[in-house]
Amino acid sequence: MSSNGPRITAVDEAAGRLGLHPGMALADARAIHPALRVEHADEDGDAEALESLALWCQCFSPLTRPDSPDGVMLDITGCAHLFGGETGLIAALAARFVRFGLTARLAIAPTIGAAWGLSRYGARRDRGNAKGAQIADGPLHEVLAHLPVAALRLDERTVAALTRLGLKSVGDLLGKPRAPLAARFGRELAERLDQALGRAGESFEALALPPAWRVERRFAEPLITLEAIETALGQLACDLARLLERDGKGARRLVLGFYRVDGWVTHREVRTSAPSRQPRHLARLLAERLDAIEGDAGFGFEAMTLGAFDVENAQAHQEKLSPDADGQGDAPQIAPLIDRLVNRFGADRVTRYEPFASHLPERSARPVSVLKHAAAHASPAPDWPAHLDALADGASFGRPLLLLARPEPVTALFEVPDGPPVRFEWRRVSHRITRAEGPERIAPEWWRVAEGAGRLTRDYYRVEDEAGRRFWLYREGLFERANDCLDAMPAWFIHGVFS
């Protein structure tokens, strides 16, 4: 909404024929045509739709991006031959857009600027069945010469100023000396002109990084059933595995893309713990992510792509000579199992233990995601015996089997201040202690005191109760300190359970 009331942001073809155009005040338009049907502009919705359209266009080229407010840009370098040349590509694209109910104006040109200008301002020519599609054939300055200056992606003020000076088409600018133009209209004009003509480079920021290796399959009939999708998935996995095999690579991340006939796209991603290129394994991992795909299929998927990311070198290994057994011959690998677990439960739920150089029990060992662990496979395996030596002086039963998530306070009865308790109550159960070992003193880590970590010394005792249950208790704080500074009396906690 501007100061003079609502304005038109977009018109359809019929309204355009009636002489309405974007930028017009709505009141004026209503005055001309009282029966006008008006919808509110939804800029966020448009941007979202444009982005999803750009994503869908990835089934034509991996490098696409939305070109707001009303365009989609595709880098089709090396892609056109898959569709029978540029004419075929543009025809296929146009046919899809017609089916989606979109009024699209398509253009192919050697530069981003030229394609932008051609698609928006190019004269409409029929090429095959692609209505209004433009392909820049011939030298760029000839193609662009008859376009209006607005086709150079200039702001409105520059366009208006140029028009006022009588410089109406790009051709008018081409012969002019550059210095006065740049002085009068700023560097932008010269830069846009150079970019359109290919004299200056322009980077293309794609929506998503292209995968290192990518395979795709298109289907004459859209796929709707899960069986068909799984079959296609198996073929894609085989294709990708062949590519990876050829180059001696293995993928750590795979993205499976589904392109629906009505221009909607969805992805499924899996990660692997080790670089993999076994088609059966990859397909199985991906197949587990297909649970809701049938509900999303709608009228079916017309294309599927499989991209390999995070590709690493993977050594070739001897496949079995006879393909009868299901990989039973050689030693089975743990990586497929880990991948399946990770893809079902998430990477942080499947962990390995890693020692950490701290005497505090809760910090001495920590779970590390298997993926992180596998990523650091170059580092040597953790030396647990040495770690235990450092921790508990090599005592075999020095550490409990179960460590509580956080130490729980217990009420303890003790004979002498520095001795173990005689009796303690934990979770409303009273335990009479018959045996005890200790204390093992663990001092706080003074360098972490600022972090609010435990500030008090702990004296750990291993105790056994009448029933033979063993616990790991500790007293937090020291008695002499408590007397000195009238601090709280030392409290007892249980930190672990022995088997």
Partner 1 sequence: MQHDLTHEAESRSAQARRLRAAHLSGLVRPLALVRPEQGALPVGHVAGHVAVSLGAGELDASLPDRGLALGALHECVPAGHGDFAAALGFSLALAARVVSKCAADARPGGVLWVFPTHCGFEQGRLHAPGLMAFGLDPARFIEVGVQKTRAMLWVMEEGLSTGALAAVIGVETGRDYDFTASRRLAMRAERSGVTALLIRACKQADGSGGASTAATTRWRIATEPHAHQLGAAGPRIGQGHENPGVGAPRWAVSLIKSKRGMPGHRQVVEWDHETLSFRMAAALAGRTPVSQNRRGTGEQAGSRKWAAAS
Positions touching partner 1 (CB under 8 A) are 324, 328, 331-334, 336-338, 340-341, 344-345, 349-353, 355, 361, 364-365, 367, 370, 381-382, 384-385, 387-388, 391-392, 396-405, 415, 418-420, 422, 429, 432-439, 462-470, 496-499
- For 167, how many CA atoms within 13 A lie in the half-sphere containing its CB? 21
Please identify, using beta-carbon distances, which residue of 176 and 349 lies nearer to partner 1: 349
What is the closest distance, in whole angstroms, from the C-beta atom of residue 118 to partner 1 in the complex?
52
Please identify, using beta-carbon distances, which residue of 166 and 323 lies nearer to partner 1: 323
What is the closest distance, in whole angstroms, from the C-beta atom of residue 333 to partner 1 in the complex?
6
Please identify, using beta-carbon distances, which residue of 110 and 419 lies nearer to partner 1: 419
What is the closest distance, in whole angstroms, from the C-beta atom of residue 399 to partner 1 in the complex?
4
What is the closest distance, in whole angstroms, from the C-beta atom of residue 455 to partner 1 in the complex?
23
Query: 363-369 long-range contacts, Cβ below 8 Å, gap at least 24?
Result: 364/391, 364/399
Residue 122's contacts (CB-CB under 8 Å, 6 or more residues apart) are 105, 107, 134, 147, 151
What is the closest distance, in whole angstroms, from the C-beta atom of residue 423 to partner 1 in the complex?
8
The rounded distance, in Å, linking the Cα atoms of 270 and 310 is 12
Please identify, using beta-carbon distances, which residue of 95 and 337 lies nearer to partner 1: 337
Residue 276's DSSP bridge partners are 251
What is the closest distance, in whole angstroms, from the C-beta atom of residue 289 to partner 1 in the complex?
16
Residue 378: C-alpha distances to residues 33, 375, 381 (Å):
73, 8, 9
Query: Angle at which helices 335-345 and 279-287 pack, to 10 degrees?
Result: 20
Please identify, using beta-carbon distances, which residue of 87 and 358 lies nearer to partner 1: 358
What is the closest distance, in whole angstroms, from the C-beta atom of residue 85 to partner 1 in the complex?
38
Please identify, using beta-carbon distances, which residue of 10 and 337 lies nearer to partner 1: 337
Please identify, using beta-carbon distances, which residue of 80 and 497 lies nearer to partner 1: 497
Cβ atoms of 216 and 304 within 8 Å: the answer is yes
- For 49, how many CA atoms within 13 A lie in the half-sphere containing its CB? 11
Please identify, using beta-carbon distances, which residue of 253 and 352 lies nearer to partner 1: 352
Residue 232: C-alpha distances to residues 227, 307, 368, 462 (Å):
9, 14, 36, 60
Cβ atoms of 461 and 360 within 8 Å: the answer is no
Cβ atoms of 104 and 97 within 8 Å: the answer is yes
Please identify, using beta-carbon distances, which residue of 187 and 469 lies nearer to partner 1: 469
The rounded distance, in Å, linking the Cα atoms of 143 and 135 is 10
The rounded distance, in Å, linking the Cα atoms of 109 and 111 is 6
What is the closest distance, in whole angstroms, from the C-beta atom of residue 457 to partner 1 in the complex?
17
What is the closest distance, in whole angstroms, from the C-beta atom of residue 56 to partner 1 in the complex?
35
Query: Angle at which helices 187-197 and 112-121 pack, to 10 degrees?
Result: 90
User: In sequence order, which ranges of 393-450 are alpha helices (DSSP H)?
Assistant: none
Cβ atoms of 444 and 433 within 8 Å: the answer is no
Nearest to 79 by CA among 93, 98, 66, 69: 93
